[in-house]
Structure 1
Amino acid sequence: MTGQIQALPERGPTPEGGEVGVFQSSWRRALREFARNRLAVVGLAILVFFVLFCFIGPFVYHTDQITPNLSDSYAPPSAAHPLGADNNGFDELGRIMKGGQTALEIGFLAAFIAITVGTLWGTLAGLLGGIIDSVLMRVVDVFLSIPIVFVVLILAVKFGATVLSLSIVIGAFSWLFAARIIRSEALSLRSMDFVSAARGAGSGNWRLIFRHLLPNSLGVIIVSVTFQVADAILLVSYIGFLGFGLHYPNVDWGNQLSDGIEDVQDGYWWLVFPVAACIVATVMALNFVGDALRDSFDVRLRRR
């Protein structure tokens, strides 16, 4: 035989840089899918606008939200008050900014607490399985049977409503939904080869969680955060509307709705409609972003 078997050339690094490149490419594809969703882009723009509006706006548009000015009570929209004034003479535009700060702070802090606890709980349950999984998830089922609104109302009356207390209470009950979602993801990941290889190499449970399961569940976690923030903002607004939210000098969007709903029949529409539009727009923006992120990461998983 004149022909000889030629040695195959060594396989160099992949065009995308090996595993790291594949991971980065997957995230790039997810971002491209997100950018193609027009509702998601609009939702993200609205969300960024409200963050800037509530936290940067007060530095540009200065108002006094501490001292009532009864001479401006129920002042209609004008050059001095673009969105009018409430019954205490507080500028409504500045009031919406301050209420938005509270709503967003509670929403993001409660979501951080919920996603941290829920992620660790769900990942641990999904990884260990067996009797431990059953016990942990029965605890979740028990807490899910407790109406969160009643618990928040009782604790708000008992201990007083502050940004920190409401965030902790809402986060302490909102992690249950995140735990279920993350557990499902952990159940599917623990049977994959890279987890089995890491376990065979001597990795303990905590190393498996923090080095393998959590990084590969990041997409699901990010999606859960957006819905957690939206739910927390709605819950805070609902509690404030019932009169159990923050008290003077603090304010939230629910308080503003509660204070203005009695006057809207007298023609003071500016006390209700602008703040209601802010609540609806913020929650819808978060839902648009969350839906798009979920679809984007599903595409990433299908093409991975």
Structure 2
Amino acid sequence: MKKKTSTGTGNKRHVFPRWMRMLWRSKTGLVGFIIVSVAMIFAIFAPWIAPFDPNQMNPLAMLKPPAFMEGGDPQYLLGTDNLGHDIFSRIVYGARVSMLIGVFSVVVAGIIGTLFGLLAGYYGGILDSIIMRITDAFHSIPRTLLALVAVSVMSGSVLTLIIVIGVTGWITYARLIRSEVLSLKQREFVKAAITIGTPDYKIILKHILPNVFSSFIVVSTLAVATSIIAESSLSFLGLGIQPPNVSWGGMLSDGRDYLATNWWVATMPGIALTVTVLGIMFLGNWLRDLLDPYNQGLQ
């Protein structure tokens, strides 16, 4: 006699990966994932999405209101600025700059901070004291002030901002990774590896680094939002991205004189910046729940 195949919900639970099930359950995580995905699509496919060149000026269409307002033009979805630039096109290209700087500055900060954190936590002693005093020195100087000084000395290019924001943002990684390593050193598998004479670099790479990776991912996700805000702040002050490159901070700076009369010039890029940062933070909070070892049993 043939056995019946079970088609209950118990088997359907495993159709989708765990992270997809948790993402679907988390409303804020799902919203964050959608927002970040849209921002990444804008950044990657900007030339195909933007209806106009971001630097194309139209003197006959200066300060046009958004298409949904009275007097708006359907071809200018979010209106135009004081030089006739299409605001939607500039927001799309601004996403490319913001995401590029946000992601790669975090890569720079993560590599530096993780390296110092691993060395300080694993070897301890004088090396730990020296690295921690360096982090204290960096922490005593406001990050924005340090970035302002560095950018004012160098050019405001994308590469410069990536390096400056990355170099000024490694402290969080160093302290977090160091504390994680100090805890992992007391675990039996690490003690066993040390006892049998495993080289230090193998212990760090094979036993310690994989166990701090989840914390690194969570902090990195949230750090992208901080880096985007830092880049926008510098560009707003005129020390960040320089024309003809487009940035949301630069658009905010250009539109601040028109807030009382033509509010959309500054408001639209401000909304784009706010929504993107919130989306990244929502996604970071969801990643924290996903990678939490206490939630590993959730289906």
The alignment's TM-score, normalised by the length of structure 2, stands at 0.87
Residue range with higher mean Cα deviation, 222-231 or 34-43: 34-43
1:40 matches 2:34: no
- Which residue in the other structure is 1:66 paired with? 55
| 1:247-258 pair list within 5 angstroms | 247-258=242-253
Q: Deviations over 1:76-99 (max 9, x none)?
A: 222121111111111110000111
Q: Deviations over 1:216-255 (max 9, x none)?
A: 1111010011111010001111111122221110121001
2:209 aligns to what SS in structure 1? helix
Q: Mark the CA change 1:30 to 1:140 in structure 2 (over 3 Å): closer, same or farther.
A: farther
Q: Which amino acid aligns with 2:50?
A: Y
Measured after TM superposition, the shift of residue 33 of structure 1 is 4.2
Preserved CA contact (<8 Å) 1:124 1:209: no
- Which residue in the other structure is 2:220 paired with? 225
Preserved CA contact (<8 Å) 2:46 2:93: no
Preserved CA contact (<8 Å) 1:143 1:176: yes
Q: Deviations over 1:149-205 (max 9, x none)?
A: 122212222211011100100000101011111111111111111111222232222
CA distance in 1, matches of 2:259, 2:164: 32
Pick the structure with greater CA Rg: 1
Preserved CA contact (<8 Å) 1:253 1:275: yes
1:154 matches 2:188: no
- Which residue in the other structure is 1:110 paired with? 105
Of 150, 163, 174, 1:179 maps to 174
Measured after TM superposition, the shift of residue 39 of structure 1 is 0.7
1:249 aligns to what SS in structure 2? coil
- Which residue in the other structure is 1:291 paired with? 285
CA distance in 2, matches of 1:301, 1:179: 26
Preserved CA contact (<8 Å) 1:115 1:224: no
The alignment's TM-score, normalised by the length of structure 1, stands at 0.85
Q: Which amino acid aligns with 1:61?
A: A
Return 5+ residue gaps in structure 1 as ranges.
1-24
Measured after TM superposition, the shift of residue 47 of structure 1 is 0.5
Identity of aligned residues (%): 36
Residue range with higher mean Cα deviation, 130-139 or 220-229: 130-139
1:166 matches 2:166: no
- RMSD between superposed Cα atoms in Å: 2.0
Of 60, 80, 84, 1:89 maps to 84
CA distance in 2, matches of 1:184, 1:91: 49
1:189 matches 2:184: yes
Residue range with higher mean Cα deviation, 86-95 or 60-69: 60-69
1:272 matches 2:266: yes
2:292 aligns to what SS in structure 1? helix
Number of corresponding residues? 277
- Which residue in the other structure is 1:137 paired with? 132
1:265 aligns to what SS in structure 2? coil
Return 5+ residue gaps in structure 2 as ranges.
1-13, 67-72
